[in-house]
Chain A
């Protein structure tokens, strides 16, 4: 399968050369491209083959179940704190901006 993919890219590359009318001053042959180590057939690899990553849930369970009294929305530490502070800043700032905008909107039209 990887050979097929490599071949497709090779033909595409060569096609581009000639479609654009380029004189092949550089050899048209591309080096053998390797996209991945040879894939195992699932039946050979056994039941422990990974599909899209490993299971990190047990680690996360340990992290979120530590008894440190930190509320759930801050329990991951710095990224949570940053996002919370940004949201709260927008909340308070936005509420004040809204009140000011409504105050001006409520003024009668001077005509």
Chain B
């Protein structure tokens, strides 16, 4: 039986990069087909394939790490670098939308009435639901840190409860934001104000949902004894992502909701 003479992870051949790439092809072509021929079949097929790919790929990562022991310290270091680089790329993604917002709001054009908020736009009161949303996300930052310390100290029940509470707060934020979207006196079609508002907060909301899903997977793994007090990188990655989502909201709140109102 051959054993490797190094601490790195030589992955088994896997079909998921191919299925993921085809999923991307189907989703993008499907988008174009939807726009021109009013059929959503291709796009939906692509989305299903994407979900199947994500589920099986990450299931395999859990198997390789938790059940096969491939996530040695050097491998874990690589995973840490990977997550940090990914979050950095997401920071740049949001930077673009903040650029768009400040470009339009710092020098409002005559078409907007030369002022910001533009003429005719009734902004949301930053001290109502948006402030509650800020409190909810900040609280969730506390609960996720509580969860981390519970895992490190081997407190199984507390870890499960604090992680569940974090996810509940995430869902509460999403629910409140959905209500705000429904009740808002302006839409995405209302000039550059509507565009910058809904695209920036919309992508943020999507990231809250993604972060909540990541944390939910961690909750399931914690319940199934996958994490040890020394080794729980999946949870740490989810917690990093969650803090990132929280910080983006703080910037959104200060810039768009508060300064921009």
Chain A residues at the B interface, C-beta cutoff of 8 Å: 51-53, 55-57, 60-61, 63-65, 67, 71-73, 75, 83-84, 86-88, 90-91, 94-95, 97-98, 101-102, 105
15 A-B pairs whose Cβ atoms sit less than 8 Å apart in the complex:
A57-B226, A61-B68, A63-B67, A64-B63, A65-B68, A71-B14, A83-B56, A84-B15, A86-B52, A87-B56, A90-B52, A91-B22, A98-B30, A101-B33, A105-B32
Nearest A residue (CB) for B225: A55
Residue of A63, A64, A88, A102 near B19 (CB, 8 A) is A88
Cβ of B36 within 8 Å of any chain A Cβ, yes or no, is yes
Cβ of B37 within 8 Å of any chain A Cβ, yes or no, is yes
The number of chain B residues touching the other chain, given as a range, is 35 or more
Binding site secondary structure of chain B: helix
A64 to B66, CA, bound (A): 10
A87 to B68, CA, bound (A): 24
Chain B residues at the A interface, C-beta cutoff of 8 Å: 1, 11-16, 18-19, 22-23, 25-26, 29-30, 32-33, 36-37, 41-42, 45-46, 48-49, 52-53, 56, 60, 63-64, 66-69, 156-157, 160, 223-226
Known A51-B156, A57-B67, A97-B42: A83·B52 in contact at CB below 8 Å: yes
| Chain A residues, Cβ within 8 Å of B13 | 71
A51-B156, A87-B56, A94-B46 known, 13 other contacts, Cβ within 8 Å: A56-B224, A57-B66, A60-B66, A61-B66, A64-B63, A71-B14, A73-B60, A84-B15, A87-B19, A90-B45, A91-B19, A94-B22, A97-B42
| Chain B residues, Cβ within 8 Å of A67 | 1
10 cross-chain pairs, A with B, having the tightest CB-CB distances, nearest first: A64-B67, A71-B12, A55-B225, A87-B52, A91-B19, A91-B22, A72-B12, A60-B67, A94-B45, A72-B60
| Chain B residues, Cβ within 8 Å of A53 | 223-224
Evaluate contact between A57 and B225: CB separation under 8 angstroms: yes
| Chain B residues, Cβ within 8 Å of A86 | 52
Binding site secondary structure of chain A: helix
A98 to B36, CA, bound (A): 14
| Chain A residues, Cβ within 8 Å of B157 | 51
Evaluate contact between A73 and B12: CB separation under 8 angstroms: yes
Evaluate contact between A88 and B15: CB separation under 8 angstroms: yes
A71 to B10, CA, bound (A): 12
| Chain A residues, Cβ within 8 Å of B156 | 51
Nearest B residue (CB) for A84: B15
Evaluate contact between B225 and A56: CB separation under 8 angstroms: yes
Evaluate contact between B14 and A73: CB separation under 8 angstroms: yes
Nearest B residue (CB) for A102: B29
Nearest B residue (CB) for A93: B45
A71 to B18, CA, bound (A): 16
Evaluate contact between A75 and B29: CB separation under 8 angstroms: no
B3 CB → nearest A CB, Å: 11
B122 CB → nearest A CB, Å: 42
A30 to B26, CA, bound (A): 57
A105 to B33, CA, bound (A): 8
A40 to B12, CA, bound (A): 47
| Chain B residues, Cβ within 8 Å of A88 | 15, 19
Evaluate contact between B63 and A72: CB separation under 8 angstroms: yes
Evaluate contact between A84 and B56: CB separation under 8 angstroms: yes
| Chain A residues, Cβ within 8 Å of B37 | 105
